[in-house]
Chain A
Amino acid sequence: MKSQSMSSLKIDNLQLSQQGKLLLSLNEEVKGGEVLTIMGPSGSGKSTLLNWLVGMLPNDFYANGELYLNQQIITNTASHLRNIGLLYQDPLLFPHLTVEGNIAFAMPKGDKQTRKDEISEALNQVGLAGMEKRCPQNLSGGQQARVALLRVLLSKPKAILLDEPFSKLDSQLRQETRQLVFEQIQRYSLPAVMVTHDESDAIAAQGKVITLDALSLNKAAS
């Protein structure tokens, strides 16, 4: 499809600073299905970068530069109109909704039955068949992570951001979930930006790796 082949997230000459001090500068384009990995020590500004991408930069920071999603400039678009999905290390499922409710919450409006079927099918695909009516609190960590992933994907985002998404999972689960996430990113052909501390995540992503360092000089490695 044409629109998919064109999908990209472009960070154009970004300079992020805090109280006049430059935190990082970046110039990157991520194509649909690709994962850009950001690494770096604690406090180097990784989460701040993601906050800027979703339009929730705290008041303390100042940003210079433009952001394009699918060739459209969205630098000043309100966060809820950006269509950029977020996946954190905590699943942050809504406790007052069932598994099905959590996913339905994220889906676009539409026919009730169609949405229901879509949810069942998606749950099935990630090995959670029949868990529609469960409470998210009663799921294991790995199951919660998968529901959170489905919630983002079924909201039909145009790009996806991952902030240390696997860091709370043990190594076996980590590998499985990671594989699932990358598969889905390719399947939907989404541009993705992933923040991680883990070398193996970076390798598994098979994309470009950028290491921010505390001195705000960043070097790009392949």
Chain B
Amino acid sequence: MIVANTLFTRLVRNSPYLLIALLVVPVLGGLLGVLLPAFGWFPALGANEFGLFGFIQLFNTPGIERMVMLSFGTSLISTLLAFVITVLILASYFNSPWLKRIQRLLGPILVIPHAAAAIAIGFLITPSGFLSRLVSPWLSGWDVPPDWLFPHDPYGLSIILGLTLKELPFLLLIALGVLAQPEIGKTLKAQHKVASSLGYCPMTGFFKVILPSLYGYMRLPILAVLAYSSASVEIPLILGSNTPPTLAVAIMQWFSDVDLSLRIKASSGAILQILITLSLLGSWCLLELLVKKCSASFLVNGEREYGGMLIQRVTHLITTVMLSVIGLALVAMVLWSFAGFWSFPDLLPQQLVTLHWSSALLQMQTPLFNTLVIAISTTLIAIALTLFVLEAEQQNTKTISAISGFIIYLPLLIPSIAFLFGLVWLFEQVNSQHAYINVVFSHLLFVLPYVFLSLANSYRRLDPRFSTVAASLGVPPSKIFWQLKLPLLLSPILIASALGLAISFSQYLPTLLSGAGRINTITTEAVTLANGASRRTSAVYALMQMLLPALFFILAWAAPKLFFRNRG
């Protein structure tokens, strides 16, 4: 397509470079910013000689093996669990209306920030939590809270629970998204039908026919989940033990220590973190290979039924337990946020008060304002840039190259704890002291990929003949963009905006670090309060964290309907 040379088209044409620069420079710069100190170069401390003493210090830290084990174990086990349960749910409810219902129940969990989810789970499993109240005293005989270690157990079981519950909806929705794609989904369903007509019970048919193909599409998202969970801090911080914590949490503590000399150890730790994440990804691929090898003959052995009924029952049970855990955690949190006096074995508080809400809402004004300002500015930039890049793609009539396609996911694949500290150092180098701008800049790293992911499909599906017809009528490209494409895409743009806002709301580490601790948002406050004294205030903040994204998703969903109804 020959495109006129106007300001608009020039802007559009150059937007992909801006996008890539915005993602690559901070990530690579940030990595450099930890790589140098990791190997001993930290001029601010007078250390200008390269050496391995950071690593020596790191490996001499008491409990370092446990930190590494915890990071490795919790993320591998939770991802495995989430994957296995996802597959069981798909296998048991394939072709059943329950699949849609489970999807609808789990979907909203996707936008619950990790911190809020962790707080909610904490409320459930803490000794005086809802779970022990449910069974006390009639079953357990407990009159005082039991003496168990949950949350904060040293084995990371609470972390595993939290991560699994957060990862599961993501993997399930990814799988259902693949099945909903007309080309793939239809073929897979037809193949399942073939297997059925060849005598395969539905469950075996799923495992032998659908799963091998479906897995290929789920592979990258699974690896992303694995990488993310190995280095995430919110859930281990709120649900993990501190003696010792996971490596990511320890690194965060070293970095934020007033003792600057810990910076070198922390940087070495960040490098170790990257190695752990890489070895996790490697282990997953090995595991995959092993399963593939072992299952090759099982796929074609002609066996058509493997106790499908039993597996189905087990899945019913797991699904029920899981949904109840989530439901109970939410109920518990709402109750705590309104609870007056609430003595131990009582299931419900003696009285309900709105005091915690009213006082928290008063305190919340500044964090709420910060949260909204940062999220809205980040999302506006992300949406505008994404739309320009997608428009550039259509004007060039080719999709952006594989490399750029990969770069967009870069910030999601590299453990953020590894480059965020370097990024802060970078901000210091360029003397960028405006905390707001720094925070928006770092939020963009995480908001952009999701907004792009969310919008790309709808934009690419727009029929290019629209533009051709309009262009042949003499309409300039800018007019086609503003007056034809954007109105057509109103709904996807609003959904992508809600997603962008939700991602920004949920950011903890980027806000904390880029804002140099000076910018409080609902999420940073919620994490700070999570292990604090007032469970009631903490409940209010965690609920606020859930309500904010929910509100914007509802707006995004309802606005086009209202808008179009008024027009009609």
Chain A residues packing against B (C-beta within 8 Å):
54, 56, 78-86, 88, 90, 92, 94-97, 100-101, 104-110, 115, 151-152, 155, 157
Q: How far is the CA of A217 from the CA of B212 in the complex (A)?
A: 45
Cross-chain contact B300 with A109 (CB below 8 angstroms): no
Cross-chain contact B191 with A105 (CB below 8 angstroms): no
Cross-chain contact A155 with B198 (CB below 8 angstroms): yes
Supposing A80-B196, A85-B198 touch, asked if A104 and B190 sit within 8 A by C-beta, the answer is: no
Cross-chain contact B300 with A80 (CB below 8 angstroms): no
Q: How far is the CA of A198 from the CA of B337 in the complex (A)?
A: 70
Beyond the given pairs A80-B195, A86-B197, 17 more chain A to chain B contacts, judged by CB atoms under 8 angstroms and listed by A's residue number, are A56-B193, A56-B196, A80-B196, A80-B201, A83-B199, A85-B197, A86-B194, A90-B190, A92-B191, A101-B299, A104-B301, A105-B300, A106-B198, A109-B301, A109-B302, A109-B303, A152-B198
Contact of A108 among B191, B300, B302 (CB under 8 A): B302
Q: How far is the CA of A152 from the CA of B197 in the complex (A)?
A: 9
Is B350 at the interface (CB under 8 A from chain A)? no
Contacts of B301 in A (CB 8 A): 104, 109
What are 27 sample pairs from A and B whose C-beta atoms fall under 8 A apart?
A56-B193, A79-B196, A80-B195, A80-B196, A80-B198, A80-B200, A80-B205, A80-B304, A82-B197, A83-B199, A84-B197, A85-B197, A90-B190, A92-B190, A92-B194, A94-B191, A94-B209, A94-B212, A96-B213, A96-B299, A97-B300, A104-B300, A105-B195, A105-B299, A105-B300, A110-B302, A152-B198
Within 135-151 of B, Cβ neighbours of A (below 8 Å) are at none
Within 174-208 of B, Cβ neighbours of A (below 8 Å) are at 187, 190-191, 193-202, 205, 208
Contacts of A152 in B (CB 8 A): 198
Q: How far is the CA of A181 from the CA of B187 in the complex (A)?
A: 23
Contacts of A157 in B (CB 8 A): 197
Closest to B187 in A: A92
Q: How far is the CA of A54 from the CA of B202 in the complex (A)?
A: 14
Contacts of B201 in A (CB 8 A): 78, 80
Supposing A95-B213, A97-B299, A110-B302 touch, asked if A105 and B187 sit within 8 A by C-beta, the answer is: no
Cross-chain contact A155 with B213 (CB below 8 angstroms): no
Q: How far is the CA of A19 from the CA of B214 in the complex (A)?
A: 34
What is the interface residue range for chain B against chain A? 20 to 34
B448 shortest CB reach to chain A, Å: 34
Closest to A154 in B: B198
B119 shortest CB reach to chain A, Å: 42
Contacts of A84 in B (CB 8 A): 197
Cross-chain contact B299 with A155 (CB below 8 angstroms): no
Closest to A103 in B: B300
Chain B residues packing against A (C-beta within 8 Å):
187, 190-191, 193-202, 205, 208-209, 212-213, 299-304
Cross-chain contact B208 with A105 (CB below 8 angstroms): yes
A92 shortest CB reach to chain B, Å: 5
Chain A interface, DSSP helix/strand/loop, else mixed: loop
Supposing A56-B193, A90-B190, A92-B190 touch, asked if A151 and B302 sit within 8 A by C-beta, the answer is: no
Q: How far is the CA of A155 from the CA of B200 in the complex (A)?
A: 11
Contacts of B191 in A (CB 8 A): 92, 94
Q: How far is the CA of A92 from the CA of B200 in the complex (A)?
A: 16
Cross-chain contact B302 with A107 (CB below 8 angstroms): yes
Contacts of A100 in B (CB 8 A): 300
Closest to A82 in B: B197
Supposing A56-B193, A86-B193, A95-B213 touch, asked if A80 and B302 sit within 8 A by C-beta, the answer is: no
Closest to A59 in B: B97
Cross-chain contact A79 with B197 (CB below 8 angstroms): yes
Closest to B211 in A: A96
Most buried by A among B193, B209, B213, B302: B302
Supposing A79-B196, A80-B196, A85-B197 touch, asked if A101 and B300 sit within 8 A by C-beta, the answer is: yes
Most buried by B among A54, A96, A104, A157: A96
B211 shortest CB reach to chain A, Å: 9
In order of increasing CB-CB distance, the 6 nearest A-B pairs are A96-B212, A104-B300, A109-B302, A86-B197, A101-B300, A80-B196
Cross-chain contact A155 with B300 (CB below 8 angstroms): no
Most buried by B among A88, A105, A151: A105
Cross-chain contact A81 with B199 (CB below 8 angstroms): yes
Q: How far is the CA of A101 from the CA of B195 in the complex (A)?
A: 13
A79 shortest CB reach to chain B, Å: 5
Q: How far is the CA of A86 from the CA of B199 in the complex (A)?
A: 11
Contacts of B209 in A (CB 8 A): 94
Closest to B199 in A: A80
Contacts of B193 in A (CB 8 A): 54, 56, 86
Q: How far is the CA of A157 from the CA of B197 in the complex (A)?
A: 9
Q: How far is the CA of A82 from the CA of B304 in the complex (A)?
A: 13
Q: How far is the CA of A78 from the CA of B200 in the complex (A)?
A: 11
Q: How far is the CA of A132 from the CA of B366 in the complex (A)?
A: 69
Closest to B304 in A: A80
A193 shortest CB reach to chain B, Å: 13
Supposing A85-B198, A86-B194, A155-B199 touch, asked if A115 and B304 sit within 8 A by C-beta, the answer is: no
Q: How far is the CA of A85 from the CA of B195 in the complex (A)?
A: 10
Contacts of A104 in B (CB 8 A): 300-302
A99 shortest CB reach to chain B, Å: 11
Q: How far is the CA of A152 from the CA of B303 in the complex (A)?
A: 16
A77 shortest CB reach to chain B, Å: 12
Q: How far is the CA of A151 from the CA of B209 in the complex (A)?
A: 14
